A and B are shown apart, each in its own frame.
Chain A
Amino acid sequence: VTDIEDQEELLHRQVNPGFFQDEDQPTSQVFRPTRKDEGRLSVSAGSRASAEESLRRYNERGCGSSCGVLSVTVEECSSLELAARYDPLGEDDPAGPDDAHAVVDFNGLDKSQHKKKGKALLLIAMNRGWTYRPDAEAAGA
């Protein structure tokens, strides 16, 4: 696990269909670690997988389902005092390897801080816009 040094690097976060409502409304819960995350929000490092590739890997590895990708940079996380680190998954991971896996570290923060930072990250990501939406691509095809 090493810190990501490139401040411009995008970190891709998968959006569960339950966290997304028709048209263009995701919840700030997208950017909040769940209980099983143990304070480390899973993302994909943009230098190792594009937004599209990160979604394909996520769905194919069977660790969940994603209906789109929202992204923030390492610098944007740093501005919220959140560290981003590479955390590649090896063959021993139950879902198989993923060299692009990375984490945004929420450890040491209380629940209200999780909420606040989740909202701040959502606002940043929505300002950037969806970095990949299969539905939008299909609709435009």
Chain B
Amino acid sequence: MSQPFLDAIFKGARFDGSELPVDLLQELEAYRDLLLAVARHIYLDQHRDRQRVPRGFAESLKLTLSGIQEGSTVAVLSRQVPAQPELADWGADTFEPAREKIGEVLAAANSGTPLPAGFPTEVLRKFNRLGKRLMDSDSIEFRPSGASTGPKFTIVTKRRLLSSLQDEIEVAYIGYARLAGASDTRCAVDLTLPSGRDVEGRAGEDVLDAAAKVMPDRKAAWLRVSGTASVDNYDRVMKLTELEDLEVVDEEYAVTFDKVQTRIDELATIQNGWLDGEGVGLVERNTSWVRDSLFLVIGELSLPKPGVFPTPEGHIQAEWILNKNHLTLLFNLDDPGVEVEVFDAESDLEETETFKRSEGDSIVEYIKQHRGGAGA
């Protein structure tokens, strides 16, 4: 007999309506695996005389997607509850308590309070599989069936949960990089990010073929790449764990990227006093993340080459005049973050928002929503 178990409520700009992009089914699969891991932990905690769970324990978790409903996008999960004799044999059901425990862990991470006592590290690591398909501005609410609310899971939640492990975490990734090589034997494409970091992208046959076609003539070509990335505690991309797609960017943007890169290099050389005696040099020499963010914004929004300037305080400001609007990205190098300002001269209105440096796709979404007539 199947019973409602959980509503996974996807929220974000791409979840308007009642449709669920198929790649996000991976999130439900990751939740199922997490649920199983937590249930296993609960069972062994309740049966300390046992080394492992009973035979058939994993198979007894029969979770199905029984419907998609409106209200952002609600994936309704049902669970086929095992027959009573099995429950009697194993003791109390552990999957509903596991759902509650996951909720407690998420709530603790969201509120910045300690995780439930005794929650094991190896189970905590399972949260790394969750959220691999989420963009910065997306969230999933895991609402137990029948409840009016449930804990939310976002990329911020994930970072908080895993920060204590000092591990790299996996996140959805879209970015721009230069093609440096490709290897069939390693099943990998070698890329150089705008920041200068060389990374490997694990790729399937199709992507390797695509890279091989580009390689002979255009090694170092600028590419738009997407997939899943492993990032460290400083939000640096360490590798692309799944490089799912690559495409060569138009020559126009390749030229823009090169010019912007040169300009940022120039800014790194300015000296204190550059502004008629005022103005300090850049307060932080490591500006690699600025390139990553800036190229993402230019590429995803098809923007022309920006003006890139130092500020008197030692930060970097990128600007575009787009029709009668003015778009500014202020890269704060002290406390890494980006202030986005969209100014409409006709209405004299300005929208501003501040983002963390890792929130490149949120910046893109914000500009899309607020630029109005400021099209490229």
Contacts and interface: CB of A to CB of B under 8 A. Distances in A.
A35 B278 contact: yes
Contacts of A25: 306-307, 319
Interface string B314-351: 00010101001010100000000000010101001010
B241 interface: no
Contacts of A16: 274-276
Contacts of B309: 18-19, 21, 27, 29
A99 to B, nearest CB: 21
A119 B277 contact: no
B310 interface: yes
Contacts of B345: 119-120, 123
A131 interface: no
Contact of B308 (A21, A36, A123): A21
Interface in B289-317: 306-312, 317
B2 to A, nearest CB: 56
A116 interface: yes
A27 B321 contact: no
A115 B341 contact: yes
A119 B326 contact: yes
Given A21-B263, A120-B348, A28 B319 contact: yes
B101 to A, nearest CB: 45
A27 B315 CA distance: 14
Contact of A63 (B270, B274, B276, B328): B276
B283 to A, nearest CB: 15
Interface string A100-126: 000000000000100110011011001
Nearest to B349: A116
A27 B324 contact: no
B326 A123 contact: yes
Given A34-B279, A34-B312, A123-B324, 6 more contacts: A18-B274, A21-B263, A21-B308, A27-B317, A34-B278, A119-B328
